[in-house]
Structure 1
Amino acid sequence: MDFQKFVDGFKTMTCVISVEILDDGSYGAIKIVTGNKPYIDSIEQVNPDAPEMLTHKFVPNLEYQNYFPKDLNFEDFCYRCAVKKEPLHTYIHPERFDFWFNIFMMPIDAGDEHIGYCTYSQELSQAPDTEKMSNISYEAASAVLNACIKLRGTDNFEKSMGDVLKDIREVCDADYGGILMIDFFTSKYSILCAALKDTNNTSMYKENWLTDDFYKIVDTWEDCIAGSNCLIIKNEHDMEVLHERNPLWYESLKAINIKSVLLFPLKNGCELLGYLWFSNFDTKNAVRLKETFELVSYFLASEISNYQLFDRFRIISTMDMLTGVFNRNEMNERVTQLSLDINPNRKNIGVIFADLNGLKRINDDQGHSAGDVLLKDAAKLLKEVFPDYEIFRAGGDEFMMLARDTTEESLNEKAAELKQKMETTECVRFAIGTCFDKDCNNIHLAMKIADGRMYEDKKLFYEKHPELRRSSERTIN
């Protein structure tokens, strides 16, 4: 068959691909037999409107890895089309290229029992085309639409994510499905939600797979995807490729009899948020699942990004950025909630005010940067002493701690512990005032009493240590 004459009949960038058929039915070498002029030009001519290849010289019948890195998804499509005679279409954005690919593949019957052939045609764009993204099968569209409805159907973020994950785990009939979040700053991961076919296997995953040092493996996943848009491990051949790329992960999968994996990065623009992944799935439907989860992962990443953005805004609006404790706005909101609580079974509440002595003098003598260090040290001590309390920065040098369902004895013990521990520090000294409000009858009165006791304690402190007053106060006095 004259493949050159055949492929020259295509107007779009098109090549002919050959796939070696091995005796056991698997595939061997995958080669680019020839291409039409637009396709060859995309390799040989440097063009900002086309992806950069590994070489700028096209040679007929070379393995595809001469032009771009090994890609299991590409190989699977070539095998299915050239050998299994399945016409295929996909619209993808491989991470290695700054382009979207609209790909059409059609099988060719060349009468060769040992080599299968197919056409590969591509259209390129630097921006995504939403119409092409939504041009998917009925089954994929149904799963994606169902996921979107559930994501927007509740205010409970984790529940909606869990519901969607449960549904799509059933779609791919996987033993395990999970959404894993990554924090590159702290080098930690967390499981946002998980879904299992057999809930009795939960401990197996936790004990043998999701261990404390699992981040070391997670950190390698991006390299395993190797510039593609996902990683699909379907069979022993794919497992061997994974073994070459990542022996550590390969061994951890083998340890708990994982034979197949779907792994989709969850990205917001260029920012990697985490991964959607499944193990031991129905590999017969790999193409349909890839089509489905490419879109599902897009919407999941968008929802996660929005939630994280909202959470950052919430933190900014409720936290004191310098000390890491709640700010005055959040304190006022909390006090309002407590004051409006009409539940007859209200719990006791303990109030502690702590004013940082000597801060103004340090600001005057050493500068505000030194004062900021003192405030951070003070907040660190408060977090250590009051791990179960709500801690607020009420003002410049003033903190308030609230404890629900406490006792007066426990409250006084905590105040005494703070006094004891601050003596072990170099500079942190608090004036302290407490009040125990039984049944939280009047939170405002309790705060007023604790505040008054704190200022009495502060007065006694400066009577003992007048040298710690700021210079202007010593002059006036």
Structure 2
Amino acid sequence: MDLQEYVNQFDSMTCIMSVEKKPNGYGKMRIEVGNKAYIDSFEKNSGNLIDMPFGKRFIPGQEYTAYIPKDLNFEHFIYSSAVLKKPMHAYIHPERFDVWFNIFSLPLDFEDPFKCYCTYTQELSTEMNTDSLQSLSAKTTADVLKTCIKLRSTKNFLKTMDEVMADIRNICKANYCCIMLTDFKARKCSLLSENAAPEIGRHTLADFLNDEFIDYAKSWLDIINGSTCLLVKNEQDKEDIKARHPAWYKSMRSANIERLALFPLKYNEDIIGFIWATNFALEETDHIKETLELSTYFIASEIANYQLLQKLEKLSSTDLLTEVKNRNAMNNRILKILSGRERVPNSYGIVFADLNSLKYINDSEGHGAGDQLLKDGAEILKSTFENSEIYRAGGDEFLIIDMENSKETLSHKVEMLRKKSDDPNKISFAVGFYYEENGGDIRKAMREADANMYNDKKAFYERHPECRNR
């Protein structure tokens, strides 16, 4: 494990502490590394709220007593986390500082025969925060920190969300847990992740999502009514749901939902989705509420970041005129295939489609007409190759990559395209098709399809010599 890389994933002031192993106790405690926020706190005029020992720049691996006086309470806190492997949390106001410390520590499983390690995170405030005084159990702290660390260190967001859903379902001892994303303005909802207990069999929310489901989601907000969550624990709670939303109550009964924990996911004052667990263990109610009230904050933030990145990626990979994928996306796709980062089946098809007479339309009728020709042509491609990858390779040329269909099916689609676009006075494509059946190099398949396209273009002008000078 690279300790510096690990600690850099934290936004708050965080360092990695080490404790020397001793046969009858522990030895020196050192601050091994710190993230930027932590190191900056040692600098003057950094906006820090505490009087750190300025002039003593941070040096990785120094004993903590190089920066603050020896403190047995602090050492007990670190020892409990690093050596005893206990997640720790405290909200304290040391006399030597004029600020409140909200501190967290999480043990690290790092193989070292001489030392044990843990994270140490601190958040500072000049005023007492009464919410922070509500002591969290070590169990809750561990569960929340586990979620945060997974989300902050992920390289595969969707896979990590699946892991988080499994963790939360286990925390709740529920038979099902999921996250549903909502866009109330667009009246859309979608399933982000779900996890179900093996004994309930195949169970997916995706089977129930439709245009009307967003109305259910809106009604949840009315029932939650500004609270942090909705917990349906017993018959009395269910009767309340029945009185306020009979249709929802009926759907819960039909799905054999006896207990429900529902939490809205909020980011920048907007509701972006919901997380819920069904038929959770009643004895875990308090722990579920305490854990998910905190976890949903971090989960919502990470989802919002993911959605923003998805929008930016779409903008960078979509041809704005035709709304198919652009050349940059095509090059990235080919590069991933060639580098082995993405696997392709042994059999796949490549189609090149080149719009005939685009330059003539641009010159004679203007670029507005040419743009419309490109958009109309792209619509024909999308309707013909609806399950394929369509790219605008550049100018008047499009590339289709098909990994799903057989040679016969794809050949039929190519013939359909020729029939749809065989009018030289409207939309006409020169088409080149190649089907690879032995897992060959995709570059060879593209060259063959490109050559076939130019042969088709030559045949088009032989059939329509009047278009040759267009």
The TM-score with structure 1 as length reference comes to 0.61
Residue 312 of structure 2 aligns with which residue? 313
Once the two structures are superposed, the pairs formed by residues 17-36 of structure 1 within 5 Å of their partners are none
Residue 265 of structure 2 aligns with which residue? 266
Identify the range of structure 1 (211-220 vs 265-274) with the bigger mean alpha-carbon deviation: 211-220
**Higher Rg of the two aligned structures:** 1
Identify the range of structure 1 (224-233 vs 288-297) with the bigger mean alpha-carbon deviation: 224-233
Aligned mates of 2:317, 2:334 — CA distance in 1:
14
Shift of 1:275: 0.5
Q: What is the SS of the residue equivalent to 1:179?
A: strand
Aligned mates of 1:337, 1:153 — CA distance in 2:
23
Aligned mates of 1:344, 1:286 — CA distance in 2:
45
Aligned mates of 1:448, 1:188 — CA distance in 2:
42
When residues 442 and 177 of structure 1 are mapped into structure 2, their CA distance, relative to the original with a 3 A threshold, is closer
In the TM superposition, what whole-angstrom CA distance separates every residue of 1:190-226 from its partner, at most 9, and x where no partner exists? 332223345325459787x667743332232222221
Once the two structures are superposed, the pairs formed by residues 406-421 of structure 1 within 5 Å of their partners are 412-421=411-420
Equivalent position amino acid for 1:191 in 2: L
Identify the range of structure 1 (301-310 vs 402-411) with the bigger mean alpha-carbon deviation: 402-411
Q: Does the aligned pair in 2 maintain the 1:345–1:439 contact within 8 Å? A: no
Residue 301 of structure 1 aligns with which residue? 300
Shift of 1:372: 3.3
Once the two structures are superposed, the pairs formed by residues 48-67 of structure 1 within 5 Å of their partners are none
Q: Does the aligned pair in 2 maintain the 1:355–1:432 contact within 8 Å? A: yes
Residue 178 of structure 1 aligns with which residue? 178
1:326 maps to 2:322: no
Q: Does the aligned pair in 2 maintain the 1:389–1:403 contact within 8 Å? A: yes
1:140 maps to 2:155: no
CA root-mean-square deviation = 3.9
Q: What is the SS of the residue equivalent to 1:219?
A: helix
1:191 maps to 2:165: no
Calculate percent identity across the aligned residue pairs.
42
Aligned mates of 1:203, 1:228 — CA distance in 2:
29
Shift of 1:401: 1.7
Aligned mates of 1:348, 1:376 — CA distance in 2:
30
Residue 47 of structure 1 aligns with which residue? none
Residue 166 of structure 1 aligns with which residue? 166
Shift of 1:396: 1.8
Aligned mates of 1:441, 1:216 — CA distance in 2:
50
In the TM superposition, what whole-angstrom CA distance separates every residue of 1:278-308 from its partner, at most 9, and x where no partner exists? 2222344434422211111111112222222
Residue 3 of structure 1 aligns with which residue? none
Once the two structures are superposed, the pairs formed by residues 103-252 of structure 1 within 5 Å of their partners are 132=132, 136-152=136-152, 154-184=154-184, 187-197=187-197, 199-203=199-203, 213-252=212-251
Shift of 1:435: 3.7
Q: Does the aligned pair in 2 maintain the 1:234–1:259 contact within 8 Å? A: yes
Once the two structures are superposed, the pairs formed by residues 77-116 of structure 1 within 5 Å of their partners are none
- In structure 1, runs of 5+ residues without a counterpart are 1-124
Identify the range of structure 1 (416-425 vs 300-309) with the bigger mean alpha-carbon deviation: 416-425
Equivalent position amino acid for 1:305 in 2: A
Equivalent position amino acid for 1:313 in 2: L
Q: Aligned residues, how many?
A: 345
Q: Does the aligned pair in 1 maintain the 2:424–2:467 contact within 8 Å? A: no
Equivalent position amino acid for 2:215 in 1: K
Identify the range of structure 1 (267-276 vs 454-463) with the bigger mean alpha-carbon deviation: 454-463
Aligned mates of 1:287, 1:343 — CA distance in 2:
45
Q: Does the aligned pair in 2 maintain the 1:338–1:440 contact within 8 Å? A: no
Residue 90 of structure 1 aligns with which residue? none
Q: Does the aligned pair in 1 maintain the 2:265–2:272 contact within 8 Å? A: yes
Aligned mates of 1:404, 1:205 — CA distance in 2:
28
Residue 81 of structure 1 aligns with which residue? none
The TM-score with structure 2 as length reference comes to 0.62
When residues 152 and 459 of structure 1 are mapped into structure 2, their CA distance, relative to the original with a 3 A threshold, is same
- In structure 2, runs of 5+ residues without a counterpart are 1-124
Aligned mates of 1:206, 1:407 — CA distance in 2:
28
Q: What is the SS of the residue equivalent to 2:401?
A: strand
Shift of 1:328: 0.8
Q: What is the SS of the residue equivalent to 1:220?
A: helix
In the TM superposition, what whole-angstrom CA distance separates every residue of 1:315-373 from its partner, at most 9, and x where no partner exists? 22322233232211122233334555699998355332111123334444554444333
Q: Does the aligned pair in 2 maintain the 1:349–1:439 contact within 8 Å? A: no
Shift of 1:438: 5.8
